[in-house]
Every structure is written in C-alpha cells, then in structure tokens.
C-alpha cells in the first residue's frame, strides 16, 4: 500500500425529507446566493422546497449555470455575490451547478488577482478562505457533492480545466433520493456509468495490496450492477435510488483511491470526444473504457482477473477470463441503454482516432497509471470502438 493522506470534512445529510435541514445548516443571519441550472428544479418541486424552507433568509438567486459550467457565467454570479454582499453559497442541482458554485464560493472573496487564477494556478499558494458552500444534490453522478474537485470550462478560450482544493469541499451536502425521481432515464443511465467508470479508473490498474480500498471499490461496482436496471424503472423505488445516490458519492469521495495507483486515461480521452463530437461525458466513457481495458490487458492483468472473479463471480483464467469480464461490463452498459461503440453514434472510429491522436500528439500527452498511453496508443484504442 502506498502512503496517503485522506481528508473529507463534508457533512452528508441523507434521506427523504432532508431538504428541511437547510434550516439548521445555514446561519440565520447569512445572505445566501442560491445557484442553480437550467430550471429543472423549478419543475420538480425542489426549488419550491428550498425557498419555503429558507423563507426567512435573505436570498439572492442566480440561475442558468449550464452543463460544463462556463467561466463567464460564473463571473456574473461572482460579481452579483460581491455586489449583494453574500456570505453563503447554496448550490441546488447536479455536478455542473455544484462545480460552478465551488468557483463562485472561492471567487467572491478572491481579490488578489483574476478569478481564473484559481483554476490555473497553485491554489495552495494563492487561495485563502472560500465562502462556505452548501449543496442540495439532484443528480447522482460526479461525486462533487463530497469532494474538493471542480471542472470549469471557458468557452471564450476553448479551455476546460479542473482545480482541486480543500477550500472547495462543501460544508454540507443534502442528498434526498426523491429529488432524482423526475430525472430523465438518460441522465440516470449517464450517472450510473459515470460512477461505475470513476471506480474503475481508481481500481483497474495494478495491485498494491490495498485490501480495504479494493473491497470498497468492488462493493460500489457490485451495487451499481445490482441496481442499474431497477434505477431506470418508473415509478422509482426509493431504496434503489438511495443506493444509486450513495454509490455515486462513494465512487469519488476519495476513499477508494487512497494508497493505490490511478488511471484516468478513459476520462482524458473522453473529454476530447465530447469536444469533437458533443457526446455526453458518460457516453464518452462507455465508448472508451471497455476497449482501453482490453488494449491494456497485459499491464492490468492482475486487477482485471480480480475484477472478473470478485465483481462478476467468474472462474477461468488469463485472457479469456478478462474478455468475459469486459463483455459482461459491455452487456451491463447496454442493458441500461448505454452504447459502447463510437459506431453506435455514427462516428467513424478511424476519423476520431486521427483527430484525437493529433490533439494528444501536439500536447505530448502520456496517460494512465504508467504514463504509458501515448497518442499512438489512443488511436489504437479508439479504432477498436466499433
């Protein structure tokens, strides 16, 4: 096991009816900036629940935070927050709203330079205290509700960058599984795949005898496999949605990555597929990961065999065993309605390979837990996605 440092101070308030707990989590004299997205919370009753709960608080609203939250949008929120003297940020929505609100919470008191510095420079050096941020999660997927990660896009300069800081942990996150009841099936499917691939990125590398972490990772994968199809059913089942929600949080609250190597090449490649073809983030992961794992099967053999045995209960050995496990993964994704090939989207794998190879070659990228996946190998992997 490698040495590690784990710190996660976010308070999780979980279960049906917990939005009312906002009342004891936000100081009564706070001026609150309520951040949300495209307005789905106005249709599913969550917006009304929040406003009713906080009716005696001074509330400033900022709606319209888009998917892949844009720096220019967030700067408007920051300027509004400064103007109104807000001292608490409340994000209500999914991963993009929360990621964006993290920059708002850090950006409002940041006056030492341009707010974009927070995204591009060493936050340990430049960033002091952020405003406190609370969240009400409505879309289980990214894990941002219980970590210090935030991904910000800047469309004006075609950048999309992640920043990570202890100042970006929400002080609390409210997870009420009933807020997911009105999600379209496609977003539930995306969330399941997103969480599943998050776990695999931290698990399917090479063994370092980190047994608790491995079992925790396998437990999340098994849970997602067990509840995946039922999570898509209407009317929704409470416990199924609760397990989905808590699984997605645990997939990226940084417990399972402690002391182990991490991959994340599937994410790196996937981001380019979103950029070139506009696929949803989870869609890109599903068309890359099964092929990447097969391509890397020699380097990842020990963990892929463990995955086959413990997560799919398979027997056998060597490449046929690994192939069977990856076929099971593909079958699982397909069963919940998620395609696993570029050709399912009428995207030519050869064209995608050429474009993305060029992109990575120009950057000299080397990815994965061994930094062994070059742009040439990325092209090989993408050509397999057919």
Determine, following the binding rule CB under 8 A, whether residue 132 of this chain makes contact with a second copy: no
C-beta closer to a second copy: residue 9 or 318: 9
Read off the tokens for 99.
């990621």
CB of 347 to a second copy, least distance (A): 35
Provide the 3-class DSSP secondary structure of residue 258: coil
Determine, following the binding rule CB under 8 A, whether residue 288 of this chain makes contact with a second copy: no
C-beta closer to a second copy: residue 12 or 384: 12
Determine, following the binding rule CB under 8 A, whether residue 384 of this chain makes contact with a second copy: no
Whole-angstrom distance, CA of residue 151 vs CA of residue 265: 16
Provide the 3-class DSSP secondary structure of residue 204: coil
Among 32, 46, 86, 220, binds a second copy (CB under 8 A): 220
Whole-angstrom distance, CA of residue 367 vs CA of residue 360: 10
Site string for a second copy, 12-31 (x = CB under 8 A): xxxxxxx-------------
Main-chain dihedrals φ then ψ at residue 12, nearest 5 degrees: -100, 125
Among 124, 215, 335, 371, binds a second copy (CB under 8 A): 215
Provide the 3-class DSSP secondary structure of residue 53: helix
CB of 251 to a second copy, least distance (A): 10
Among 42, 124, 155, 211, binds a second copy (CB under 8 A): 211
CB of 134 to a second copy, least distance (A): 13
Burial annotation 302-333 (CB, 10 A radius, 16+ → b, else e): ebbbbbbbbbbebeeeeeebbeebbebbbebb
Determine, following the binding rule CB under 8 A, whether residue 212 of this chain makes contact with a second copy: yes
Residues of span 240-269 touching a second copy by CB under 8 A: 242-243, 246-247, 250, 255, 258-259
Determine, following the binding rule CB under 8 A, whether residue 219 of this chain makes contact with a second copy: yes
118 to 82, 102, 163, 284: CA distances (angstroms): 17, 11, 7, 27
Size of the site for a second copy (CB under 8 A): 42
CB-based contacts of 23, cutoff 8 Å, min separation 6: 53, 54
C-beta closer to a second copy: residue 5 or 83: 5
CB of 272 to a second copy, least distance (A): 32
385 to 272, 314, 338: CA distances (angstroms): 15, 24, 14
CB of 351 to a second copy, least distance (A): 40
CB of 243 to a second copy, least distance (A): 5
Determine, following the binding rule CB under 8 A, whether residue 178 of this chain makes contact with a second copy: no
Main-chain dihedrals φ then ψ at residue 115, nearest 5 degrees: -60, -30
Whole-angstrom distance, CA of residue 262 vs CA of residue 194: 16
- Classify residue 220 as exposed, middle or buried by CB count within 10 Å of its CB (0-12, 13-18, 19+): buried
CB 218 within 8 A of CB 310: yes
CB of 7 to a second copy, least distance (A): 4
Site string for a second copy, 222-241 (x = CB under 8 A): xx--xx-----------x--
Determine, following the binding rule CB under 8 A, whether residue 318 of this chain makes contact with a second copy: no
Determine, following the binding rule CB under 8 A, whether residue 335 of this chain makes contact with a second copy: no
Provide the 3-class DSSP secondary structure of residue 137: strand
CB of 174 to a second copy, least distance (A): 10
C-beta closer to a second copy: residue 210 or 367: 210
**Residues near a second copy, by CB under 8 A:** 1-18, 208-212, 214-216, 218-220, 222-223, 226-227, 239, 242-243, 246-247, 250, 255, 258-259
């Amino acid at each position: 096991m490698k040495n590690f440092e784990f710190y996660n101070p976010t308070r999780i308030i979980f279960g049906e009816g917990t939005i009312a707990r906002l009342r004891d989590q936000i100081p009564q004299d706070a001026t609150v900036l309520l951040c949300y997205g495209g307005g789905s919370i106005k249709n599913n009753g969550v917006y009304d629940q929040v406003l009713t709960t906080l009716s005696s608080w001074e509330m400033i609203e900022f709606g319209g935070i888009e998917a892949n939250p844009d720096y220019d949008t967030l700067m408007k929120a920051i300027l509004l927050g400064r103007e109104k003297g807000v001292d608490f940020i409340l994000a209500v929505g999914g991963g993009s709203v929360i990621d964006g609100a993290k920059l708002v919470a850090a950006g409002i008191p940041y006056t030492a330079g341009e707010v974009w510095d927070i995204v591009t420079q060493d936050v340990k050096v430049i960033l002091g205290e952020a405003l406190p941020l609370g969240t009400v999660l409505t879309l289980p997927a990214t894990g941002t509700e219980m970590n210090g990660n935030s991904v910000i896009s800047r469309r004006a300069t075609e950048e999309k960058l992640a920043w990570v800081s202890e100042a970006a942990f929400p002080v609390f996150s409210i997870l009420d599984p009933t807020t997911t009841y009105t999600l379209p099936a496609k977003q539930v499917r995306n969330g399941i795949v997103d969480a599943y691939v998050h776990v695999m990125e931290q698990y399917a590398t090479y063994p370092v005898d980190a047994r608790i972490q491995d079992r925790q990772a396998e437990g999340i994968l098994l849970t997602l496999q067990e509840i995946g199809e039922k999570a898509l059913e209407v009317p929704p089942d409470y416990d199924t949605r609760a397990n989905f929600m808590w699984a997605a949080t645990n997939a990226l609250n940084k417990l399972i990555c402690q002391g182990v190597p991490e991959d994340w090449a599937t994410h790196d490649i996937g981001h380019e597929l979103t950029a070139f073809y506009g696929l949803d983030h989870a869609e890109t992961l599903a068309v890359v990961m099964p092929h990447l794992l097969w391509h890397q099967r020699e380097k990842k053999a020990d963990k892929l065999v463990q995955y086959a045995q413990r997560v799919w209960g398979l027997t056998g050995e060597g490449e046929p065993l690994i192939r069977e496990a990856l076929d099971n993964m593909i079958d699982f994704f397909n069963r919940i309605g998620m395609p696993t090939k570029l050709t399912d989207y009428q995207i030519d794998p050869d064209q995608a390979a050429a474009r993305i190879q060029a992109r990575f070659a120009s950057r000299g990228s080397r990815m994965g837990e061994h930094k062994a996946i070059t742009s040439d190998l990325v092209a090989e992997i993408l050509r397999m996605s057919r």
